[in-house]
Amino acid sequence: MTPKNDTSQHLFALILAGGMGTRLWPRSRRSLPKQLLNIVTANTMLQDTCRRIEPLIPVARTLVVTNRAYAPLVQAQVPDLAPSNVLIEPAGRGTAPCIGLSALHLKRTDPESIMASLNSDHVILDAAGFRSALEAAAVMAERGYLVTLGIQPDSPHTGYGYIQQGEQIETIDGYPIFRVKRFKEKPSLDTAKQFLAGQDHLWNSGIFVWKVAALMDAFRQYMPEFYGQLMNIDAAIGTERENQVLQEVWQQVETMSVDIGVLEKADNVVVIPLSVGWNDVGSWAQLPDILPADQDGNVTIGANHVGIDTNNSLLYASSDRLIATIGLHDMIVVDTDDVVLICPKSRAQDIKQIIAELERQNKEHYL
Amino acid sequence: MTPKNDTSQHLFALILAGGMGTRLWPRSRRSLPKQLLNIVTANTMLQDTCRRIEPLIPVARTLVVTNRAYAPLVQAQVPDLAPSNVLIEPAGRGTAPCIGLSALHLKRTDPESIMASLNSDHVILDAAGFRSALEAAAVMAERGYLVTLGIQPDSPHTGYGYIQQGEQIETIDGYPIFRVKRFKEKPSLDTAKQFLAGQDHLWNSGIFVWKVAALMDAFRQYMPEFYGQLMNIDAAIGTERENQVLQEVWQQVETMSVDIGVLEKADNVVVIPLSVGWNDVGSWAQLPDILPADQDGNVTIGANHVGIDTNNSLLYASSDRLIATIGLHDMIVVDTDDVVLICPKSRAQDIKQIIAELERQNKEHYL
């Protein structure tokens, strides 16, 4: 048995599936968010996420963490997922608490476990390449490193956090491993252009691989209050007080991302550059990056479309209604049973203003 | 009894209601065209047309000419219209044959009859003013003139035919009556601007008032072949051959507008300038001319709309779906149960290209 195979036996997936996905409204709704929808393929994004890793990490070693409302849908969409592998977070508190709570369960399943923390709503076109990178990351995780996967940028995107590479310290199965020099918040366009030109910055994919033991050490060191809260929960797991303690503690837990809470502070963080056709589908404007366009530059998904002088537009429909357009350029049209959204690609991020306006008008049934 | 009152007893309305109304697609459909829809008010445009004239011309003296498919809807929408007052044209052949066929029936009802030929799909905001103008027109018609109503233009519209005024020959109830100098086809923008500046050109409303006897004389003189065909039909009316003759003759009838076939040739044509808030609702882009806009310049009809940075747009819905827009300027959005149309106001006339494309794709069920 080679060390690599041995590592694989301890490799578990944690799939984060509690997000609201408002940026893909009106297709994505509070009651049925992005990760539970078939946005890009015939399967839901959660199903694609599970299938993508399955040759490396079987469903038996896959945990999905979500909220109480989405849990039944998660179970229905991934029926071979054991009910005990669906973890329910009492309330959204950012990625650090979510991952920490899940780590408690993984630690009991396998004290040697390595966690690959994955998002449930990302597209990765090269699944095999992605699994290879996860394997290399697991090797580094086994050695105690906190491993991040960084995406080779192909544009000065201002919607992502960036990771600046430091020195290369290793090569695993052809993957160069770099120390992380610095994490950077979403940059201005000028800064993003410098990042792109400098060739030493990667997009932070939000995909992390680490030993659960190393992660718990990091929580103890960098988020001591949260670590104490986790220990209180840990002590109650398996007892009749488990749920009560979890609910009580979670009221106190501070909202925090694992990036800021742990990764920006730790000194054992490495990054593996990745080129696997990754896309976080963070807005409608990103779909044309991953889907083929017709000769007019239009990307049509599900839509029954007739266009005159219409180009470089996204036409998305979950209804079978006809979308007829004249003189439309660089626009997004999303048609659902009860809402049609029309906006320029350049303003896809402003959907949050529509959401806010609907809340203000007490029209939450559209959210 | 004054001459005017006497005239009124012979005044009949002929309402032309056989049009397809494709320019208001997708609200207007072949199976349910514009005139049979409630586009602007709670009533259908046909109902509004009947009500508008009713104080002057009661339903008993109103004829509606349409095709076989629309006749049941006409009857349902105007229930007090006697079945004998709904005339059915075997096929669309333009306004001259349609008016000619109707004239045969009017002539039998009342040989002294004066026909006010009206469109069923126009908006006239000042109904009382319109009726006054019809009364003045009827006085001139009684004297043997072919009377046209011309609309005082307020813009250099290129979508209408124009009527150039000649000398003023009369004043009736305060309405100046002008000879018609010339009819002009839809002009270029430059020409339309000249027309507007010259102040002697009116839009051709397509509304005409004439004695049926004078109209038949004009057909005999200027459309002799058609007059012969009309006489063949006339001879068969009331016999068992009536329908057979009508169908056979109609196969031969040439398509012709009454403007070109008669009015451009006749020398007894006069025009009365009209300012009554007339609009032919010839395209979606015209609705904002007759309906109030909100503070952002948007006209919202039936639509459940939430807009961010959206202005000078028309949002029309016959569904109760939500229309959400961001960064939309000078656009038209029409949302129906099975179609959503999106196009710039400046391209509203290009809906015919969508229609043609749908025909090409054999998607006639959307038409």
Measure Cα distances from A85 to A44, A136, B151 in Å.
19, 25, 75
Of residues B319 and A151, more confidence is placed in A151
Question: In this complex, is the C-beta atom of A60 within 8 Å of any C-beta atom belonging to chain B?
Answer: no
Tokens of A111: 């004290």
Alpha-carbon dihedral B202, B206, B210, B216, rounded to 10 degrees = 130
Residue A111 backbone dihedrals phi, psi, to 5 degrees: -60, -20
> Tell me, what's the pLDDT at B64?
98
Closest CA to A101 of A259, A227, A220: A227
pLDDT tens digits, one per residue of A284-326: 999 988 889 999 999 999 889 999 999 999 999 988 899 999 9
Q: What is the ipTM of this complex?
A: 0.86
User: Does residue B350 have a pLDDT over 60?
Assistant: yes
Output the average pLDDT for chain A.
Answer: 94
Both tokens of A326, joined, read 């004249």
pLDDT at A6: 65
Residue type, A126: D
In chain A, whose CA is at the least distance from the CA of B319?
A: A338
List chain B residues with CB under 8 Å of A339. Answer: 321-324
CA distance A73 to chain B (A): 26
Q: Which of A167, A146, A274, A263 is nearest to A213 (CA)?
A: A146
Percent of chain B with pLDDT over 90: 90
Neighbours of A80 (CB within 10 A): 11
Joined tokens for residue A30:
């509070």
Say what angle helices B95-109 and B224-236 make with each other, to 10 degrees: 40
Peptide bond connecting A72 to the previous residue in cis, omega within 30 degrees of 0: no
Token output for A149: 């996967």
For residue B271, what are its two tokens? 């025009």
pLDDT value at residue A8: 79
Task: Flag whether residue B326 sits within 8 Å of chain A, measured between CB atoms.
Answer: yes
Structure tokens at A35: 């990760």
Contact B79, B67 (CB under 8 A): no
Q: Is the pLDDT of residue B3 over 80?
A: no
Is pLDDT of B93 > 50?
yes
Helices (H) then strands (E): counts for chain B: 12, 17
Residue identified by tokens 């991953």 is A290
Angstrom distance (rounded) from CA B186 to CA A17: 61
Q: Indicate the residue of A326, A335, A342 with minimum beta-carbon distance to B347.
A: A326
> pLDDT (tens digit, 9 = 90+) per residue, B183-222?
999 999 999 999 999 999 999 999 999 999 999 999 999 9
The pLDDT score that the predictor gives to residue A265 is 96
A:B CB pairs within 8 Å: 110
B350 inside 8 A of chain A by CB: yes
Q: Which residue of B has its CA nearest to A367?
A: B322
Q: Does any CB of chain B come closer than 8 Å to the CB of residue A360?
A: no
CA–CA gap between residue A195 and residue A201 (Å, rounded): 6
CA distance A286 to chain B (A): 17
Question: Above 60 in pLDDT, residue A214?
Answer: yes
CA distance A340 to A336: 6
Taking an 8 Å cut-off on Cβ atoms, the answer to whether B327 and A341 are in contact is: no
Asked whether the predicted pLDDT for residue A2 surpasses 70, the reply is: no
> Does residue A340 sit at the B interface (CB-CB below 8 Å)?
yes
Q: Token pair 């749920």 is at which residue? A: A243
In whole angstroms, what is the distance from residue A131 CA to residue B121 CA? 65
Cβ distance of B339 and A322 shorter than 8 Å:
yes
Element of type H or E holding A82: none
Minimum Cα–Cα distance from A334: chain B residue? B324
Question: Which class for A159: exposed (0-12), middle (13-18), buried (19 or more C-beta within 10 A)?
Answer: middle
At B126, is the pLDDT very low, low, confident or very high (cuts 50, 70, 90)?
A: very high
Kindly tell me if the per-residue pLDDT of A253 is higher than 60. yes
B335 shares contact with chain A (CB less than 8 Å): yes
Interchain CB contact of A367 with B (< 8 Å): no
Share of residues in chain B with pLDDT > 70 (%): 98
CATH of A3-279 given 3.40.50.920, 3.90.550.10, 2.40.50.100, 4.10.1240.10:
3.90.550.10
CA dist B202 and A363 (Å) reads: 48
B331-335 and B322-326 strand pairing: unpaired
Name chain A contacts of B358, Cβ cutoff 8 Å: 306
DSSP string covering A89-141: -SS---HHHHHHHHHHHHHHH-TT-EEEEEESS-EES-HHHHHHHHHHHHHHH
pLDDT at B6: 65
Report the relative pairing of strands B162-172 and B201-211 from DSSP bridges: antiparallel
Q: What is the pLDDT of residue B5?
A: 53
Task: Check whether A159 has a pLDDT greater than 90.
Answer: no
Give pLDDT, residue B2: 41
In three-state secondary structure terms, A262 is: helix
Confidence of residue A3 (pLDDT cuts 50, 70, 90): very low
d(CA B105, CA B65): 11
Stretch A149-176: mean pLDDT, rounded? 95
For residue B85, the 8-state DSSP code is G
How many whole angstroms separate alpha carbon B152 and alpha carbon B161? 13
- What is the DSSP-derived secondary structure letter of residue A54? T
Pairwise CA distance, residues A35 & A50, whole Å: 11
Closest CA to B351 of B35, B29, B17, B19: B29
Of B335, B361, B366, the CB nearest to A340: B335
DSSP H helices, chain B, are 3-9, 45-53, 71-77, 95-109, 127-142, 189-198, 212-222, 224-236, 242-252, 258, 287-290, 351-360
Q: What are phi and psi of B57, to 5 degrees?
A: -125, 105
- The segment(s) of chain B belonging to CATH 3.90.550.10 are 3-279
Residue of A318, A321, A335, A361 best to disrupt the B interface, most CBs of B under 10 A:
A321
Interval B278-315: pLDDT, tens? 999 989 999 988 889 999 999 999 889 999 999 999 99
List chain B residues with CB under 8 Å of A354: 306, 308, 324, 326
In angstroms, what separates the C-alpha of B122 from chain A's closest C-alpha?
25
- Structural contact between residues A344 and B327, judged by C-beta atoms closer than 8 angstroms: yes
Q: Do B353 and A326 touch (CB under 8 A)?
A: yes
| Cβ within 8 Å, pair A324-B339 | yes
Compare CB distances from A321 to B324, B331, B339 and report the shortest one's residue.
B339
Question: Given an 8 Å threshold on Cβ–Cβ distance, is A322 in contact with B26?
Answer: yes
Whether pLDDT at B156 is above 70: yes
Q: Taking CB atoms and an 8 Å cutoff, what residues of chain B touch A322?
A: 26, 338-340, 363, 366
Question: CA of A341, closest CA in chain B: separation in Å?
Answer: 5
Residue indicated by tokens 């979670």? A250
Residues of chain A found within 8 Å of residue B338, distances taken between Cβ atoms:
321-322
CB contact under 8 A, B339 and A327: no
* B99, B215 contact by CB (below 8 A): yes
Q: Which pTM value belongs to this model?
A: 0.86
Burial A272-311 (b: 16+ CB within 10 A, else e): bbbebebbbbbbbbbbbeeeeeeeeebbbbebbbbbbebb
Cβ proximity of A98 and A16 under 8 Å: yes
Task: Tell me the chain B residues in contact with residue A333 when contact means C-beta distances shorter than 8 Å.
Answer: 340, 342
Rounded Cα–Cα distance for residues A330 and A349 (Å): 14
